[in-house]
């Protein structure tokens, strides 16, 4: 350095400055790419990805190159054979159509008696006898599935007291409404189960000859949903009382954020052990929502089954829950386990135990020692928790537990 002139030192400093600037740009680019991959793996799009269990599996659209010299295909001789012609007479068709394909307890059946052509032509009753019958089923549809209930209430006048009275009208679930409870149930069922918007249902009512206003259907929907809130509360209380709870969060567009853009909100579905599920709604994905949903007190040994979102692990650690991560997010590994404040991981992948307690070597860990280990008991606990939901790894882990 001392032998360099001032001009050479200035050039060296400029070169180093250019090198630092280039490396800084490359670091910023790599950091941006890393953040993008994190959003793909752990963000809102993470559940859209499918991690292949076999790294050699070809992606959709990829094909193998054809062999240079394809082997000649083998040929075999098939002898001549005969087949019977398909029967198309009325008897065969009647037998095929006589098999019921519906639930007779739920579908109304209208019986239509078809007259015999010879009897209709004037055959006397003494010239034939009925020895049986054949049944055929058809699916039919009426022009409209609505019906108007007409309640007729007589008005009487007593001769002794001259008092006039009449029977009271049947009370509906919505006071003063012209909608029957069956209409309210069908309105919500068509909207939320069969995805029929209210304007389409309104048009169908008009086509069936029932003249009602479009806002009336909106009011009925809101009032009917309000009647279901006690059922939702009871079901949610039942889920919170379960020992094993499954939880996730999924985005939904709700509300206007800007001109032409909708705001991103989140459903936080919670699933219980009795096949019950509720969808609490929150405008954000912040971790405090987990506390608002699940509360702060839990029974000893409660299990929370979630994905890899960090707020679930923090909540389970803070309030003393067993955190069981969803196996569907770990198709190559069987279990990632954490017990209390002490970190004890069991990570089984491709039939090998990769991480266990530091004092135990994976290859020297006996089955008896592992059964006495607290982490192995947690492995059974996690298997029981994950068995409540579909999982791609249940069969593999069941085989490992059996060993």
Closest residue by Cα to residue 205 from 223, 176, 179, 175? 179
Closest residue by Cα to residue 186 from 138, 147, 137? 147
DSSP 187-240: HHIIIIIS---HHHHHHHHHHTT----HHHHHHHHHHHHHHTHHHHHHHHHHHH
**What is the pTM for the complete model shown?**
0.53
- Read off the pLDDT of residues 359-401 as tens digits, 9 standing for 90 and up: 333 333 333 333 344 444 444 444 444 444 433 344 444 444 4
Closest residue by Cα to residue 380 from 392, 355, 398? 398
CA 362 centroid distance within chain: 38
Contact 343, 296 (CB under 8 A): no
Contact 242, 274 (CB under 8 A): yes
Q: In angstroms, what CA-CA distances link 349 with 113, 286, 355, 356?
A: 67, 32, 10, 12
Contact 112, 138 (CB under 8 A): no
pLDDT over 70 for what percent of the chain? 70
183 φ/ψ angles, rounded to the nearest 5 degrees: -70, -40
- Read off the pLDDT of residues 283-303 as tens digits, 9 standing for 90 and up: 999 999 999 999 999 988 999
- Read off the pLDDT of residues 53-100 as tens digits, 9 standing for 90 and up: 555 666 655 666 666 776 778 888 877 777 777 665 444 444 556 677
CA 182 centroid distance within chain: 27
- Read off the pLDDT of residues 187-234 as tens digits, 9 standing for 90 and up: 999 999 999 999 999 999 998 888 999 999 999 999 999 999 999 999
């Amino acid at each position: 350095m001392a032998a360099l002139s001032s001009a050479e030192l200035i050039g060296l400093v400029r070169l180093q400055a250019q090198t630092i600037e280039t490396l800084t740009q490359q670091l910023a680019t790599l950091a941006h790419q890393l953040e993008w991959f994190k959003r793909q793996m752990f963000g809102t799009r993470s559940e859209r990805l499918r991690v292949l269990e076999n790294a050699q599996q070809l992606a959709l659209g990829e094909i193998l190159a054809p062999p240079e010299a394809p082997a000649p295909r083998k040929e075999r001789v098939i002898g001549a054979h005969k087949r019977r012609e398909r029967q198309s007479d009325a008897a065969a068709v009647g037998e095929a159509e006589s098999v019921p394909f519906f639930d007779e307890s739920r579908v109304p059946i209208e019986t239509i008696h078809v007259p015999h052509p010879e009897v209709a032509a004037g055959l006397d009753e003494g010239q034939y006898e009925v020895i049986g019958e054949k049944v055929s089923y058809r699916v039919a549809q009426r022009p409209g599935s609505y019906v108007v209930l007409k309640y007729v209430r007589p008005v009487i006048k007593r001769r002794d007291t001259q008092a006039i009275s009449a029977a009271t009208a049947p009370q509906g679930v919505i006071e003063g409404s012209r909608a029957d409870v069956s209409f309210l149930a069908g309105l919500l069922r068509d909207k939320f189960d069969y995805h029929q918007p209210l304007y389409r249902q309104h048009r169908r009512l008009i086509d069936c000859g029932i003249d009602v206003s479009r806002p009336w259907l909106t009011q009925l929907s809101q009032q009917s949903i309000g009647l279901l809130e006690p059922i939702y509360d009871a079901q949610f209380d039942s889920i919170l009382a379960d020992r094993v709870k499954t939880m996730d969060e999924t985005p939904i567009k709700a509300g206007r954020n800007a001109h032409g853009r909708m705001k991103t909100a989140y459903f936080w579905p919670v699933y219980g052990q009795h096949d019950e599920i509720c969808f609490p709604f929150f405008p954000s994905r912040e971790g405090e929502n987990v506390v608002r949903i699940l509360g702060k007190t839990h029974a000893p040994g409660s299990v929370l089954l979630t994905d890899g979102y960090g707020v679930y692990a923090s909540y389970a650690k803070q309030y003393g829950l067993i955190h069981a991560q969803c196996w569907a997010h770990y198709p190559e590994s069987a279990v990632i386990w954490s017990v209390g404040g002490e970190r004890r991981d069991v990570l089984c992948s491709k039939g090998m135990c990769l991480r266990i307690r530091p004092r135990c070597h994976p290859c020297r860990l006996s089955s008896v020692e592992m059964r006495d280990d607290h982490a192995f008991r947690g492995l059974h606990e996690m298997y029981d928790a994950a068995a409540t939901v579909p999982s791609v790894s249940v069969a593999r882990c069941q085989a490992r537990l059996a060993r």
